[in-house]
Amino acid sequence: MAHRARPLSPHLQIYKFRYTMGLSITHRLTGLALSVGSILFVCWLFALALGREAYGTALELLSLPLAKVIWAALIVCFCYHLANGIRHLAWDLGLGFEKRQARASGAAVVVATILLSALVLFFAFDLAGGSA
């Protein structure tokens, strides 16, 4: 029996790149980013629990421009992961597998991510001009 040099399971060398593949890879990457980003959130909670001085120091660090960029990126990751997660839940119910439906739900994920991210960022960075 001749041994063929072929993969045991399909992967990127077999499939052409499609938008659904990009959405799937992005879903995994945003999940990873959110896992790493949760460390920042826990640090903020610890500072809050440690008292006024620790919280003040944490707020100074988290108010730096680089920290704001990281928070903004994590907000976008969260919004994407949420929207695409809902799409996956629909798939778990057996809905949306037809090519046209999959394309439409993929586009809906991108649009929902943009709109939800804009809304959350608007209020998260107090662009509404409110006072707290």
What CATH number does residue 79 fall under?
Answer: 1.20.1300.10
Sequence-separated (6 or more) residues with CB below 8 Å from residue 123: none
**Is residue 60 situated within a structural domain?**
yes
Q: Which of 105, 30, 44 is nearest to 75 (CA)?
A: 30
User: In this prediction, what percent of the chain has a pLDDT beyond 90?
Assistant: 72
User: Residue 8 gets which letter from DSSP?
Assistant: S
**Is residue 71 situated within a structural domain?**
yes
Q: What is the dihedral of CA 129, 49, 59, 52, to 10 degrees?
A: 90
**Is residue 6 situated within a structural domain?**
no
pLDDT tens digit sequence for 60-113 = 998 899 999 999 999 999 999 999 999 999 999 999 999 999 999 999 999 999
**Is residue 85 situated within a structural domain?**
yes
Answer yes or no: is pLDDT of 13 > 80.
Answer: no
What are the helix (H) ranges across the chain? 19-50, 52-62, 65-92, 99-124
How would DSSP label each residue in 53-78? HHHHHHHHHHTSHHHHHHHHHHHHHH
Structural domains of the chain, count: 1
Report the pLDDT value the prediction gives residue 83, as an integer from 0 to 100.
98
**132 — pLDDT class (breaks 50, 70, 90):** very low
Report the pLDDT value the prediction gives residue 73, as an integer from 0 to 100.
97
Could you list the residue range(s) of the whole structural domain that residue 86 is in?
20-120
Answer yes or no: is pLDDT of 116 > 90.
Answer: yes
**Is residue 34 situated within a structural domain?**
yes
**Is residue 43 situated within a structural domain?**
yes
Report the pLDDT value the prediction gives residue 103, as an integer from 0 to 100.
93
Q: What is the dihedral of CA 105, 28, 115, 83, to 10 degrees?
A: 50
**Is residue 45 situated within a structural domain?**
yes
**Is residue 15 situated within a structural domain?**
no
- Confidence (pTM): 0.82
